[in-house]
Structure formats: C-alpha cells, structure tokens
Chain A
Amino acid sequence: AQSVTQPDARVTVSEGASLQLRCKYSSSVTPYLFWYVQYPRQGLQLLLKYYSGDPVVQGVNGFEAEFSKSNSSFHLRKASVHWSDSAVYFCAVSLITGNTRKLIFGLGTTLQVQP
C-alpha cells in the first residue's frame, strides 16, 4: 500500500534561512509525487509535482524538491524563506489503480518563519 510520512510536524526557521521539509513515501511502483501548501482558511495549492525525469523539480515561489528512489524520499527545499511562507505543507503520492484515482497525503508539516 502506498503511504506518505512527513516526520516533522512543525519546523521553525528564521526569515532568510534555508529550508528543507522532509517527505518519505512507500510505493511498490515509481510514484507520482506532489507538494501542496495550505494557508490559513484556504484550500490546498499545488507547489510542484514529480512524474519522471530530472529528479529535481522546480515549483512556484522558489520552491524545489528532489526525488530519490534509493531513499524513497521527496524533500522540499527553499534557499531563502520569507515570512509569507508560513503555512502547512503536505506531501502526497498519487494512487491510480484500475479506474480509480486518489491522492494519499502525509500529515503535514507546519512551517513557522520567524522575523
């Protein structure tokens, strides 16, 4: 069964510092992976996605993620965070079996950026 683990429930960084949010997945096949962000009282917004090819994918607002098959990971990175990046970040894997399709989410990491 596919699953996603985000080991850090909360991460606090200072504005301007670099960021890494960790994501580990479990999948019997090469997965389709996503990072979503959720701002307060908002829905989820897609940051980036990985389907195949270059393991480093670029997303919006300076975010990037690196896929590692050997480590079963898809960590999210940003070189310099801004206070507006404070939000909850979700890693997800897409499960397509037969005619059905769904996203399996991790529990999320709350990012707090301190001024």
Chain B
Amino acid sequence: NAGVIQTPRHKVTGKGQEATLWCEPISGHSAVFWYRQTIVQGLEFLTYFRNQAPIDDSGMPKERFSAQMPNQSHSTLKIQSTQPQDSAVYLCASSSWTGNTEVFFGKGTRLTVV
C-alpha cells in the first residue's frame, strides 16, 4: 500500500498559467477529498468525491478552480489563470465510505505562482 500519491510534489507556474495537480487515492477507497493548506488560512476543505461523483465543492473558489475524478484511480485539481494567492500546499486524501473511518492524506503538492 503506497498510500495516497500526489504528483508533482512541487510545481512552479507563472502568473496566468494553468496548473494541474494529480492524485491517486488508495485502492478501494471510494471517498476522495482535496484540501488547501496555507500558513494564514490553515487547512481548508475544497471538494469531495464519492464513488467518482462530485458531492460537495463548497470550498472551491467559484472561478478558475475545478476538480474531476474520471476514474476510481485518480483525481485532478485544475487551476486556470493561476494567481500568486493560489500559492499553497494542496493535499489530497482518501478514505473508505463507512461513516467516520480514517482519512489518509497524501504528501501534498506545493504550488508556487511567480
């Protein structure tokens, strides 16, 4: 079990460019989460998939951010026209769906927008 795998670990983009972050959840896990971590805001919930379907995107900025889960083995978070304030660590997590089972986190992708 390699855990939740996130790629790349580090990404530097120029202002206005697009950034795509990848996540491979633990095999068999039906719930996938995306969080954003910054020093100021801490850990913020972005979005949640269950059985590949988007369930809750209440934390996603309404513009420029989108998330998809085209199959059960990976999810992507896409940020269009990146801005310096998008610089953060983006964490993906997965769990089985049986109420409050443990949520396993990846090591994150550090996005820097210059």
On whether the beta carbons of A43 and B55 are closer than 8 Å, the reply is: no
Question: What bracket does the count of chain A residues touching chain B fall in?
Answer: 20 to 34
Q: Residue B1 at the A interface, CB < 8 A?
A: no
Q: Nearest CB to that of A94 among chain B residues? A: B100
For A32, A96, A102, which residue has the most chain B Cβ atoms within 10 angstroms? Answer: A102
Complex Cα distance, B93 from A36, in Å, reads 13
On whether the beta carbons of A101 and B102 are closer than 8 Å, the reply is: no
On whether the beta carbons of A101 and B42 are closer than 8 Å, the reply is: no
On whether the beta carbons of B56 and A100 are closer than 8 Å, the reply is: yes
Minimum Cβ distance to chain B for residue A25 (Å): 14
Minimum Cβ distance to chain B for residue A103 (Å): 6
Q: Residue A83 at the B interface, CB < 8 A?
A: no
In the complex, which of the residues B33, B42, B91, B97 contacts A107, with contact meaning CB atoms closer than 8 Å?
B42
In the complex, which of the residues A36, A96, A104, A107 contacts B100, with contact meaning CB atoms closer than 8 Å?
A96
Q: Nearest CB to that of A32 among chain B residues? A: B100
Complex Cα distance, B68 from A87, in Å, reads 32
On whether the beta carbons of A96 and B99 are closer than 8 Å, the reply is: yes
B-side residues, CB < 8 A to A, are: 3-4, 31, 33, 42-43, 45, 48, 50, 55-56, 58-59, 91, 93, 97, 99-100, 102-108
Other A-B contacts than A46-B104, A49-B100, 4 sampled, CB-CB below 8 A, are: A36-B105, A102-B33, A103-B103, A107-B42
A-side residues, CB < 8 A to B, are: 32, 36, 41-46, 49, 51, 90, 94, 96, 99-108
